[in-house]
Homo-oligomer: A and B are copies of this chain.
Amino acid sequence: MVTIYDIAKKTGFSAPTVSKALNGTGTLNSGTRQKIIQIADEMGYKPNISARTLSTRKSNLIGVIYDDTGMNRGFAHPLFSVVLNRFREQIEFAGYDLVFLSRHFQMSYYEHSQYRSVDGVIIINPATGDKSEFDEFIESGMPRVSTNSLFDGICTIISDNEKGGYVAAEHFIKKGHKKIAFLSAPRNGISTAPQERLAGFKKALTDYNIPFDEELFVESRFWDKQGAYEAFGKLYERRKDFTAVFCATDLLAFGVYEYAEKAGLKLPEDISIIGFDDDAADALMSPHLTTFRQDALRIADIASEMMLNQIAGLPVPDIVRCEAEFIERQSVKEIK
């Protein structure tokens, strides 16, 4: 490993001068700068980031909070996986690397971030948990963004879920449906999406003078197919007069498809269905699932921009909403 001392010796300048030349800091004769840079190149110099971090407290590392406990999808989530991937691209382009933050060894997320001297943190998927876990990040003033759920004091980039819920309900209504069920994801987690989608759903009903029927609301115990299968089963045993169901996420819709297959229900003839997320499977299932595509690329782009802004000391908004695109496929039947 070649160090700045090696370059200093070779060029005849001092280590601080080499440092300034390589970093473009301080005032330097442009000739000596050129020379140093050239020699450094020839020698194949690579800075030692640990040394730099130790003296500057800047690591060029961004901590990622991504933990799918309770979701059991690993990195296969249709929204989060894309957000992670694109955020990584953008932030690497700006010279930062991504390191995963965890809660192991009695370290909290915050302690872990300190241990690694990260320059900022992105909350993509904190699993279920307690929002107060993030208070230390807020108090510390560390640059931080969330692409998952609203936190007071954390710049959050998130889909307009309420609008999504509204559009879904409105679509059903315009296709002639009146008895529309709502299959919710668990509302006890850290994500506010289920509530927001429900709020929009109710608002549309109200606007179209359709009363919200509590009996047509059902909540899955988990964010998965199995939970949805059971929840929908409960709903269907209770009531058979509804013609449509809005699922707060595609994963839940998959449970409905499974139930329909086992129970001999025809989709969308017997029940129309709309999901949320545009999972890769949607366009493969029969009928192809009508859904919403969250703008993961835009969410990630804005997240990285907001991260960089904060690192630069610039102010950022509390919340940025991104539109989710309605994708009409084949799972909603028109009722005359």
Residue of B nearest to A86 (CB): B74
A114 interface residue per 8 A CB criterion: yes
Interface residue A104 (Cβ < 8 Å from any Cβ of B): yes
- CB-defined contacts of A86 to chain B, threshold 8 Å: 74
- Which of chain B's residues has its CB closest to A111's CB? B46
What 16 additional pairs, Cβ within 8 angstroms, besides A75-B75, A284-B285? Answer: A46-B115, A51-B54, A75-B76, A75-B82, A76-B76, A76-B77, A92-B100, A93-B104, A97-B100, A97-B112, A97-B116, A258-B284, A279-B280, A279-B281, A281-B281, A281-B284
Contacts of A68 in B (CB 8 A): 85
- Known: A50-B59, A74-B82. Is A100-B88 also a contact (CB below 8 A)? yes
How far apart sit A47 and B76, CA to CA, in the bound complex (Å)? 34
Q: Which residues of B contact A280 (CB under 8 A)?
A: 76, 279-281
Which of B49, B77, B114, B116 is in CB contact (< 8 Å) with A115?
B49
Question: Is A254 on the interface with B (CB-CB < 8 A)?
Answer: yes
For A1, list chain B residues within 8 Å (CB).
114
The range of chain A's interface size is 35 or more
**Which of chain A's residues 37-67 have a Cβ closer than 8 Å to chain B?**
46-51, 53-54, 59, 61
What is the chain B residue whose CB lies nearest that of A76? Answer: B81
- Judged by a CB distance under 8 angstroms, whether A99 is at the interface is yes
Is A84 in the interface zone, CB < 8 Å from B? yes
Q: How far, in Å, is A78 (CB) from chain B's closest CB?
A: 7
- Whether the Cβ atoms of B102 and A99 lie closer than 8 Å is no
List the 3 closest pairs (A to B, CB-CB), nearest first.
A74-B85, A281-B281, A75-B75
The proximity string for A residues 106-119 relative to B, scoring 1 for CB distances below 8 Å and 0 otherwise, is: 01000110111100
Identify the closest chain B residue to A72 (Cβ).
B85
Closest B-chain residue to A44, C-beta based? B111
Tell me whether A172 is interfacial, beta carbon within 8 Å. no
A47 to B61, CA, bound (A): 17
Say whether A98 faces chain B, with CB atoms less than 8 Å apart.
yes
Task: Please measure, in the bound complex, the distance between the C-alpha atom of A61 and the C-alpha atom of B50, giving whole angstroms.
Answer: 12
Closest Cβ–Cβ distance, residue A319 to chain B (whole Å): 24
Q: Can you name the residue of chain B whose Cβ is closest to the Cβ of A112? A: B97
Q: How far apart sit A284 and B112, CA to CA, in the bound complex (Å)?
A: 39
Residues of chain B within 8 A (CB-CB) of A258 are 284
Shortest Cβ gap from A251 to chain B (Å): 9
| Inter-subunit contact B97/A98 (CB<8 Å) | no
Known: A51-B54, A97-B100, A286-B285. A46 touches B117 (CB 8 A): no
Q: A264: CB under 8 A from chain B?
A: no
Is A95 interfacial (CB-CB < 8 Å)?
yes
